[in-house]
Amino acid sequence: MTVFTRRTLLKTAAAAGVAGVGASTIGRLAGFAAVPDPVVLKTTSIQAQLMDGAPTKNVLTYGEAGPPPVVRMRKGEPFAARLVNGIDDPTTIHWHGIRVPNKMDGVPFLVQPYVYQGDHFDYAFTPPDAGTFWYHPHCNTLEQMGHGLTGVIVVEHPNDPQCDSEAVINLRDWRLGDDGQFIEPFRPRDAARAGTYGTVRTANWLDQPQYDAPAGGLVRLRAAITDVTRIYAFRVDGAEAAVIALDGNPVPQRFAPDALQLGPGQRLELAIRMPDDEGAIVSLRDVRGTKSKVLATLRAVGKSLKRDLRDLGPLEANPVAEVDLAGAKRIPLALSATAENVSANSICGSLGYSFWAINKVPWPGDTPDPTAPLAELKLGQSYIIDMENLTPHSHPIHLHGMSFKVLSSSTRQVQPLISDTYLIQPDEKVQMGLVADNPGDWLLHCHIIEHQKTGMTSYLRVV
């Protein structure tokens, strides 16, 4: 396989900023007989060129420079990472979409302590699923993610069908002023609506990067929306393309990405058949709203490989337990606005407002205290979440620790997708089935971070 996004496909080992981490220690903690050397992910404050003019100060990354590295794992093989905190703000890492043991989930106070400046935390788990995932902090997230701490994860499968090249694209915005420096992270009136948008849009921290791919070849493009606010509508121009996976799971039926809407936290995997002519350009676009924006382009190089999109074999389904629909219990989940203000002080980065509620409760933060779980689930039992959006805005609702299957929607035809994040539209009611097969406390929240931090967060307890 040709890897052509060299800038971001750094070998994860290259991200190591600290030497001498004992793999055996981490292995003992996680109960593994043997684990690989840990990837070291050190939070660092850097300067980065994100737009024309002066570099932006106080950009946050994992590693020494540039965007957070693409972290590569293998399905079914132990993985270990050491988070080292090099910034003056407590942090953690959440492995978005990966069904990890609860203690590895990275939510402070719910499952682990803060990692303070100069301290470290060792994560170790075996990813059960292959696909595209991502990682980010779960502390003070509007600030930390907004300043750069969002990276893509690729979990490889030994039976992955062979493409001729791969592109990994981290999509996100930045809230920068004309001088290239960070401005206020949100505006309350926008937080009470669709969220506050960034002012500078990037792919892999670049404006419309271009990558080379073999002419006539098949590209596996993996895009993760790691922005804190923006919903995208994807289209590919200049080549035949098919959606092969969403949110880390193969789609039951492949389809063309014709203004496919995905929200923060979601991942898109495309197979793209490059044009035969050398120099031909393929563009990945966001066509949401009135303006079409090119996110990144691919340029055909060399003599045509003359491949066919239909050559690409199926992706293997992930081992997600089948929901027992007949015996499933229901969990009602209503998303609404709220007038009640409870978020005076949250231990994990309150924005100081309450605008949103789940089942009429505006949740004050990522803390279990004093709120009880939204629902207590019995280990091994099947459930159907009846989720209803009573607001005039879309919400990408993310569940930690377990995958669900989209069963039906009141407003559209849905494929039975397996996912961890569902972008619910205004006035939509959706049913999602899941087997409560991972014990622990699992957050359920909107991934528009301003919504999450102003009431739209709760958690499910599986015992």
Q: How many residues bind Cu ion (CB under 5 A)?
A: 4
Provide, rounded to whole angstroms, the least separation between the CB of residue 422 and Cu ion.
11
Provide, rounded to whole angstroms, the least separation between the CB of residue 98 and Cu ion.
22
Stretch in the footprint of Cu ion (CB under 5 A) among 3-11, 224-232, 375-383, 439-447: 439-447
Provide, rounded to whole angstroms, the least separation between the CB of residue 31 and Cu ion.
37
**Residue number with CB closer to Cu ion (79 or 134):** 134
**Residue number with CB closer to Cu ion (191 or 251):** 191
Provide, rounded to whole angstroms, the least separation between the CB of residue 424 and Cu ion.
9
Chain residues 441-460 in contact with Cu ion, contact rule CB under 5 A: 446, 448, 451
Q: Does 399 bind Cu ion (CB under 5 A)?
A: no
Q: From the list 72, 96, 99, 395, which residue makes contact with Cu ion (rule: CB under 5 A)?
A: 395
- What is the DSSP code (8-state) at residue 400? S
Do you know the residue count of the chain?
A: 463
Provide, rounded to whole angstroms, the least separation between the CB of residue 248 and Cu ion.
21
Chain residues 327-386 in contact with Cu ion, contact rule CB under 5 A: none
- φ, ψ of residue 207 to 5 degrees: the values are -85, 110
**Residue number with CB closer to Cu ion (73 or 448):** 448
Yes or no: say if 232 and 171 are a contact pair by the CB < 8 Å rule.
yes
Provide, rounded to whole angstroms, the least separation between the CB of residue 397 and Cu ion.
8
Chain residues 267-326 in contact with Cu ion, contact rule CB under 5 A: none
What residues have CB less than 8 Å from 257, skipping those under 6 apart?
234, 235, 236, 241, 242, 243, 268, 270
Residue type, 110: L
Distances (CA, A) of 232 to 63, 171, 285, 403: 28, 10, 9, 22
User: Strand ranges (DSSP E) for 189-280?
Assistant: 200-203, 210-214, 218-225, 232-237, 240-246, 249-255, 260-262, 267-273
**Residue number with CB closer to Cu ion (265 or 440):** 265
> Helix (H, G, I), strand (E, B), or coil: what is residue 178?
coil
Candidates 194, 157, 193, 199; CA nearest to 179 is: 199
- What is the DSSP code (8-state) at residue 348? T
Site mask for Cu ion (CB under 5 A), range 176-215, x = bound: ----------------------------------------
Residues lying near Cu ion in the complex (CB under 5 A): 395, 446, 448, 451
